[in-house]
């Protein structure tokens, strides 16, 4: 939005004052400001994209008419949720490993990392059974297995 000043009973449109540098707000480790925000004109935005294990639309700060950055607000560009939030890897259905004499537990679907999926022995088999750990993918098969009685 342009600013106006009154000079000699006339209105004069003032030149916009650009914002310098990146917005001076810390977003912690969640997001990083883009490096090309220097000289952004009033009404335009500078964006901070999510980084590391964080996902989401990130944040934006608008350059005000006096050349200062406004408090950042969460964005949800193409992500469906605002700001940045930590991503916890999950594993889909139970592992494809063969577990003779055992069966994967029902609660192994969409298990979050780093939890284990257990495959206890089923009757008439006995023993410790098996397990695999979810790391966003299924780790190797562990356990002493199951034995016939």
Band (pLDDT 50/70/90 cuts) for residue 14 is: low
Band (pLDDT 50/70/90 cuts) for residue 16 is: confident
Query: Which 3 state secondary structure label does DSSP give 107?
Result: helix
Distance CA 90, CA 107 (A): 13
Q: What is the mean pLDDT of residues 121-146?
A: 93
Place of tokens 């964006």: 47
User: What value does the mean pLDDT of the chain take?
Assistant: 85
pLDDT tens, residue by residue, 52-71:
778 888 899 999 988 999 99
Fold of 14-86: Complement Module; domain 1 (2.10.70)
Task: Print burial letters for 6-32: b (CB count within 10 Å at least 16), e (below 16).
Answer: eeeeeeeeeebeebeebbeeebeebbe
pTM, two decimal places: 0.52
């Amino acid at each position: 939005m342009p600013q106006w000043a009154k000079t000699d009973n006339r209105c004069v449109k003032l030149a916009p004052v650009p914002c310098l540098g990146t917005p001076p707000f810390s977003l912690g480790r969640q997001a990083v400001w883009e490096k090309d925000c220097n000289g952004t004109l009033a009404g335009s935005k500078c964006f901070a994209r999510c980084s590391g294990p964080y996902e989401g639309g990130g944040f934006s700060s608008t350059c005000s008419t006096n050349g200062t950055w406004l408090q950042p607000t969460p964005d949800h560009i193409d992500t469906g949720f605002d700001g940045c939030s930590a991503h916890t890897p999950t594993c889909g259905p139970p592992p494809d490993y063969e577990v003779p004499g055992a069966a994967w537990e029902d609660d192994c679907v969409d298990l979050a990392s780093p939890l284990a999926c257990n495959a206890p022995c089923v009757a008439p088999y006995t023993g410790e059974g098996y397990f695999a750990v979810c790391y966003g993918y299924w780790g190797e098969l562990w356990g002493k297995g199951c034995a016939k009685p």
